[in-house]
Structure 1
Amino acid sequence: MVTKERPVMVMGLYDSKLSFYALEWTLDRYFVGFGPNHPFKLVVVHARPTPASVVGVGGPGSGNLMTIIESEFKRKALRSVDQIKQMCLNKSIEDVKIEIVEGNPKKVICEAVDRHHASILVVGSPDYGIVKRAVLGSVSDYCAHHAHCSVMIVKRPSKTRIDIAQFR
């Protein structure tokens, strides 16, 4: 009997609140209720910034600052991994690969797509306005244009959105 390999879904985490919302949204729609027969192999990639990306200064004493920042980034990433594992466990999803990769989230996530030969990439979308998106750039925008697979951008519902079902 030939077993067909499931397509890979990469979930890119880079911004805790919105990324975790996108992860929960994705788990609920593509993994919960399927048991072991869910449609994708899930790889969650947590993009961890480098200390140098935060500290743009060098010189005497900067080594200590870099060490402190590096330590805090590692601690935060490990907390994120624990949170990812707990979310998956709570939803009875066991077959998940979790990676922490250091670097620019835009590049790290797109590289993970290539490395895992992903069929689909899922990322959250920040609530940036036009000006903030133009100045800071958006990970989701970058991935939509540069990832070598389909990209699903999960947006948090707006607070003003009206649920039509409540009026029926």
Structure 2
Amino acid sequence: MAEDDKPDMSNFRVIVLLAVDETEYSEYAFNWYRDFVHRPGNFLVLLHCTDHDYQSMRDASPGQTKTMIVELTEKMKFIEDKFGQLMNHAGISGRIQRGSGKPGEAIIKAANDEGASMIVTGTRGHGKIKRTFLGSVSDYVVHHSPVPVIICRKH
């Protein structure tokens, strides 16, 4: 989205960045934000990060690459439709933005670019060992964020 295409957010007191994906944890984080944090003056930026393996795409055959792109496009449309409907139903002002690359880094970059006052994200609640090997997006965000972070953990 070009700089000129951004909606005028000067009337909003608080810009909140909410990181989403196709999981139930993101929907839980959205609902938690809606129920406990959202105020009429807030502007919500929903960020979906495409975390695909560029190396796999480069190494794939043309047919496999086409399949990967179709799957990614369908996934993004599903997320945008789902969260767009949730925002409309809740009467929340905002927009959906696509990010790319490593999700943690994309979230921090978007928060800085948008002038976010806070970041809200869900967590899958991986155990200590899995988090050590796979890393944790929420851990990365907490340790690198310039603004407060709310992590919504679904029980």
Please, what TM-score do these two structures have when normalized by structure 2?
0.84
Letter in 2 for 1:20: E
Aligned-residue sequence identity (percent) comes to: 26
Which entry has the higher C-alpha Rg, 1 or 2?
1
Cα 1:23/1:50, change in 2 over 3 Å: same
Contact 1:14–1:46 under 8 Å retained in 2:
yes
| 1:152 corresponds to | 150
The one of 6, 9, 14 equivalent to 2:16 is 9
The one of 22, 27, 33 equivalent to 1:26 is 33
| 1:76 corresponds to | 75
**2 CA distance for matches of 1:99 and 1:74?**
14
Letter in 2 for 1:11: L
Aligned residues: 146
When the two chains are superposed, the root-mean-square deviation of aligned CA atoms in Å is 2.0
User: Runs of 4 or more off by more than 2 Å in structure 1?
Assistant: 61-64
Name structure 1 gaps, 5 residues minimum: 158-168
**2 CA distance for matches of 1:79 and 1:131?**
31
| 1:44 corresponds to | 46
Cα 1:89/1:147, change in 2 over 3 Å: same
**1 CA distance for matches of 2:22 and 2:43?**
22
Residue 145 of structure 1 deviates from its aligned partner by: 0.4
Contact 2:48–2:99 under 8 Å retained in 1:
yes
Question: Deviation string for 1:47-83 (max 9, x for gaps)?
Answer: 1123426x2772xx52321221121111111110100
**2 CA distance for matches of 1:83 and 1:155?**
20
Residue 102 of structure 1 deviates from its aligned partner by: 2.3
| 2:99 corresponds to | 101
Residue 108 of structure 1 deviates from its aligned partner by: 1.0
Residue 39 of structure 1 deviates from its aligned partner by: 4.3
Name structure 2 gaps, 5 residues minimum: 1-9
